[in-house]
Amino acid sequence: EAGVAQSPRYKIIEKRQSVAFWCNPISGHATLYWYQQILGQGPKLLIQFQNNGVVDDSQLPKDRFSAERLKGVDSTLKIQPAKLEDSAVYLCASSLGPAGVSYEQYFGPGTRLTVT
Amino acid sequence: QKEVEQNSGPLSVPEGAIASLNCTYSDRGSQSFFWYRQYSGKSPELIMSIYSNGDKEDGRFTAQLNKASQYVSLLIRDSQPSDSATYLCAVNCSQLIWGAGTKLIIKP
């Protein structure tokens, strides 16, 4: 069974530029999550999709971050404009069902973003 | 605010010994509990999940849950250098709340 796919793996941009990340979840997984992980910290949930609907985006900085999951499969996360503090690893995860139940989450390899 | 607490470490354990990692959580309504392993520069990998009080064993790993004390632990028997990683505790209470992780170092 193929795992969660993400691209690109690494990205370096200057502040105020824009960037987009792509994620393809495990086949059949209805729930998709985007996390931000800063070195030395646990993952921070940015947004959770159930199929193509948003379940939780309470910690998404909506003035600069946006995400979509058209057709309920793959997803893109965009940052525009980027700030220095956005330097982090962006992780995509998927699960069979919603986090409010007990479904285990599986992570992609992540995208390491550096903003200079 | 819902919280998950872990000692950041590093926790240093000799090869072959038992490594014991601990996690406490604040929400008494939490229903499911997960341990993830994260190697440096890699993404978190699920190693154990536990849903009811008591012990759950999987190979060299044992997860222990005590809901009354709001405490979950992970024991690694016969520790190997390859077990050196950061171990993240995650607790599910309508959403998954993450600890900051404990860095484990297994010394040969």
pLDDT in tens, A59-111: 999 999 999 998 889 999 999 999 999 999 999 999 998 766 667 999 999 99
B79: pLDDT confidence band, cut at 50, 70 and 90?
very high
B23: pLDDT confidence band, cut at 50, 70 and 90?
very high
Rounded average pLDDT over B97-108:
96
The model's pLDDT over A2-29, given as tens digits with 9 standing for 90+, comes to: 899 999 999 999 999 999 999 999 999 9
What tokens were used for B72? Answer: 């979950």
Contact yes or no for A105 and B96 at CB 8 A: yes
Contact yes or no for B46 and A45 at CB 8 A: no
A&B contacts, CB < 8 Å = 50
* Contact with chain B for residue A61, Cβ under 8 A: no
Cβ-Cβ contacts under 8 Å, B23 against chain A:
none
**To the nearest whole angstrom, how far is the Cα of A67 from the nearest Cα of chain B?**
19
pLDDT at B94 over 90: no
Q: Which residues of B18-50 are buried (b: 16+ CB within 10 A; e: fewer)?
A: ebebbbbbebeebebbbbbbbeeeebbebbbbb
* Contact with chain B for residue A106, Cβ under 8 A: yes
How much is the pLDDT for B1? Answer: 79
How much is the pLDDT for B93? Answer: 80
Q: How many CB atoms lie within 10 A of CB B66?
A: 12
